[in-house]
Chains A and B, each alone.
Chain A
Amino acid sequence: KNQVEQSPQSLIILEGKNCTLQCNYTVSPFSNLRWYKQDTGRGPVSLTIMTFSENTKSNGRYTATLDADTKQSSLHITASQLSDSASYICVVSATNGAGKSTFGDGTTLTVKP
């Protein structure tokens, strides 16, 4: 069964600090991995997407890494801002033709002043 596990479940940091969120997956055969940001009560918004051949992708202060061998990804947030407070969701797609994605439960990040 395809699974995506994220850690930690929640995280509290001070404004200006960096943090790293983790995603482990068992989806196979792997197609791509995406990170989304979801503000409370709103729909997720795509941050990064990585295919098998990519091991890092940046979007402003967000940098995602992918290790396809160990089936792990991380999302690093640099110089956090209060607006970074949100849920961050890891989503992995398989290349088996179904086109369905497997969603992690997300990491809830709270940035405090």
Chain B
Amino acid sequence: DADVTQTPRNRITKTGKRIMLECSQTKGHDRMYWYRQDPGLGLQLIYYSFDVKDINKGEISDGYSVSRQAQAKFSLSLESAIPNQTALYFCATSDPPPTDTQYFGPGTRLTVL
């Protein structure tokens, strides 16, 4: 079974709709992350969480919010989706420092029409 799972894997929605992407992990890691990836570009950090009570904004947090429901669960919400949020979204967990190796989920492909 995959260590990091994401649901849904694909989603098509309309402008203005609220969308939630969910992430679960079985690695027992405290650290979790949400990234977006646009075609041909690198990963951009949206939000990260170092434990259940710790939530931090990343480079591109505007238009997004997150919820860390438990150590194993980290959800990303788009409050009012817009077309330029069409992208591939990845959830990840990481080993603690100094290793910091990240383990990524399979991704959610989101299309906002």
Contact = CB atoms under 8 A, between A and B. Distances in A.
Given A43-B92, A89-B42, A101 B100 contact: yes
Interface in A22-57: 31-32, 34, 36, 41-46, 49, 51
B26 to A, nearest CB: 15
Contacts of B106: 42-43
B20 interface: no
B2 to A, nearest CB: 10
**A contact face: mostly helix, strand, loop, or mixed:** strand
Contacts of A32: 98-100
Q: How large is the interface on B (under 10, 10 to 19, 20 to 34, 35 or more residues)?
A: 20 to 34
Contacts of B107: 41-43
A31 B105 contact: no
A95 B98 contact: yes
Contacts of B74: none
Interface residues of A, number: 23
Given A41-B109, A43-B107, A105 B97 contact: no
A95 B98 CA distance: 8
Given A44-B102, A93-B97, A100-B45, 15 more contacts: A31-B97, A32-B100, A41-B109, A42-B107, A43-B4, A43-B104, A46-B102, A51-B98, A91-B102, A93-B100, A99-B50, A99-B100, A103-B43, A104-B42, A106-B42
B109 A31 contact: no
16 contacts: A32-B98, A32-B99, A41-B107, A43-B105, A44-B43, A44-B104, A46-B101, A49-B99, A49-B101, A91-B102, A93-B100, A99-B48, A101-B100, A104-B42, A105-B41, A106-B42
Interface of A: 31-32, 34, 36, 41-46, 49, 51, 89, 91, 93, 95, 99-101, 103-106
